[in-house]
Structure 1
Amino acid sequence: MIEFLGYIGALFIGLVLGITGGGGSILTVPVLVYILNYEPIIATAYSLFIVGTTSGFGTFQNFKKGLVVPKTAFLFAIPSVIGVYLTRRFIVPEIPGTVFYFGSITLSKETFLMLLFAVVMFVAALSMLKPQPETEVVDVKTKSMALVVIQLFFVGILIGLIGAGGGFLIVPALLKFARLPIKKAIGTSLLIITINSLIGFTGDVQNITIDWIFLLSFTIVSVIGIFIGLRVQHLINEKHLKKLFGIFVLIMSFVILYKEVFS
């Protein structure tokens, strides 16, 4: 029964990725940790492969619809993917088992990563729900380029720490800096997520033992979900889609905070 619920979760992971271009990884880690009882380190590694592969199929479908901007995708992916790989390969394995200890209060590595995961989601949700002012398009090729590169590198580090594809961070960046319409931002984010996640996962292959049978079967179900999500995406209004994305991320952040702090 627990495994069945896990695979239902896999279907929804793909569904959310197809509809919002992100958020799938927000579901992946909680499903693996809280339903299938994987340790957060393993869950975050598996999440990168599941979300990266699923996003790859979604990217192909969106590309055929003209909803992917490859030049923007690679521009945004390069600095972030460097951050992701370095974090998964070198930083995560070196985080101590006990991150903080004071009296009877102990913060383990696993809890630290899950709390960080929730905090990042909360901030991203607020960013998505905040009304976007009608200002000039920000040209990432001008003076702001260096700042954008630095920001994307640190986004990559965050993605590497929490094992997420980063759609909930990348979509707002595409909206703000590239000024893409929401549906093109979603389509382009899937390509960036694919690159970030799969290259980040290669850093984990060298550090953990992979259960490929489970990982591939879970991923296949998630891929089915993304095709369903892409089918229904056009039925949702762009403004409503952005708001739905933000609300979903906000709710999930509170769920994870509650699970880690109060359970």
Structure 2
Amino acid sequence: MDIAGYLASIFVGIALGLIGGGGSILTVPMLVYLFSLDAVLATAYSLFIVGATSVVGSFSYFKKGLVNIKTAIVFGIPSIAAIFLTRHYILPAISQHVFTIGSYTVTKNILLMLLFAVLMIVASYSMIKKDDGKSNEEAPKRQSLNYFQILMQGIFIGVITGLIGAGGGFLIIPALVNLLRLPMKTAVGTSLVIISINSLMGFLFSLSHTSVQWRFLLSIAAIAIIGILIGSYLSTKIKANRLKSAFGWFVLVMGIYIIIKETILK
């Protein structure tokens, strides 16, 4: 299964490069099912892989001036605080045996994978749905900013990132467009920066209670980085909307598969 895992690592990077998000939600399932890692350890590894890959992916947006640093800081601060609290207090507090229904026991690993599956299904909807015809290059110009909503969104994304190791780009981009009125391309670039900071900080918060196999982790991250470079190149040759929809259906199927595997097939 290792060969399949390394091939999947390339696909994670390609997906991020092609559509600016979504690939990170495949990282934990890849680590759990193809490399047979514990789900909690997989979330920590995913944070490093997603963070490192997003750093590389954000370079081209920096060069084009499509990153709003102030927004990344304002949005990122509550996210980082939430990640720290989640990795240090919430995640360790979850019991190894959460609850039992009849003969079926929901363990900590199963709970995390089910949460991940739900996230994948929600993410697939945002990828599959068609645009309403309005240009996504211009965000609303007269919408008043709601800083309380921004704070809550940052905290929510931080908790999601801390719990299941996903960058949450599909949640960050709509927030940047609707709450902070950023143009879509700037939102994508800024989102990659936020994902980079959140993920790498989350990984650092995990080091004190995580035994890291650095050779393995760096090899996966390097392959994913190669993938994002390939995806960034292909994005200039292929229409992103069709790819986004197709990837969304794939993520939906994967999410349903995880739910079935962790419940019916257990």
Question: What is the TM-score of this pair, normalised by structure 1?
Answer: 0.89
Once residues 118 and 105 of structure 1 are traced to their aligned partners in structure 2, the CA distance between those partners, rounded to angstroms, is 18
Instruction: Report the residue type matching 2:56 in the other structure.
Output: F
CA distance in 2, matches of 1:234, 1:7: 25
In structure 2, what residue type is equivalent to 1:137? P
**Which one of the candidate residues 143, 146, 154 is aligned to 2:148?**
146
The structural deviation recorded for 1:224 is: 0.8
Query: What is the letter of the counterpart of residue 140 of structure 2?
Result: V
In 2: Cα distance, 1:53 partner to 1:238 partner: 23
Q: Distance in 2 between matches of 1:83 and 1:216?
A: 26
Alpha-carbon offset, residue 110 of structure 1: 0.3
Paired position in structure 2 for 1:253? 255
Q: Judge which range, 102-111 or 37-46, deviates more.
A: 102-111
Q: Give distance in 1, aligned partners of 2:25 and 2:242.
A: 20
Distance 2:4 2:256 in 1: 21
State the match for 2:49 in structure 1. Answer: 50
Counterpart secondary structure, 1:37? coil
Aligned-pair distance for 1:94?
1.5
Task: Give the Cα separation in 2 of the matches to 1:108 and 1:139.
Answer: 48
Contact map agreement 1:11 1:221 (CA 8 A) in 2 = yes
Q: Which residue of 2 aligns with 1:189?
A: 191
Change (3 A) 1:253 1:183: farther
Equivalent-residue separation in structure 2 for 1:242 and 1:139 (angstroms): 29
Which 10-residue stretch deviates more, 119-128 or 37-46? 119-128
In the TM superposition, what is the alpha-carbon distance from 1:77 to its structure 2 partner? Answer: 1.6
1:84 paired to 2:83:
yes
| Residue 23 (structure 2) aligns with | 24
Q: Residue 98 of structure 2: SS of its match in structure 1?
A: strand
Cα distance in 1, alignment partners of residues 173 and 253 from structure 2: 18
- Is the Cα contact below 8 Å between 1:20 and 1:186 reproduced in 2? no
> How many Å apart are 1:128 and its aligned residue?
4.4
Unmatched segments (≥5 aa) in structure 2: none
Distance of 1:3 and 1:223 partners within structure 2: 18
Work out whether residues 54 and 192 of structure 2, in 8 Å CA contact, stay in contact via their aligned partners in 1.
yes
Please give the alpha-carbon distance, in whole angstroms, between the structure 2 residues aligned to 1:68 and 1:136: 15
1:109 positional shift: 0.5
CA apart distance, 1:52: 0.3
2:125 alignment partner AA: L
Structure 1 unaligned runs (5+)?
Answer: none
Following TM superposition, by how much is the alpha carbon of 1:261 offset from its aligned partner in structure 2, in angstroms?
2.2
Tell me how many residue pairs correspond in the alignment: 261
Confirm or deny: 8 A CA contact 1:128 1:172 kept in the other structure: no
> Conserved in 2, the CA contact under 8 Å of 1:26 and 1:252?
no
Look up the match of 2:205. Answer: 203
- Measured in 1, the distance between the counterparts of 2:139 and 2:62 equals 27
Report deviation, 1:200: 0.6
- Cα distance, 1:6 vs structure 2: 1.3
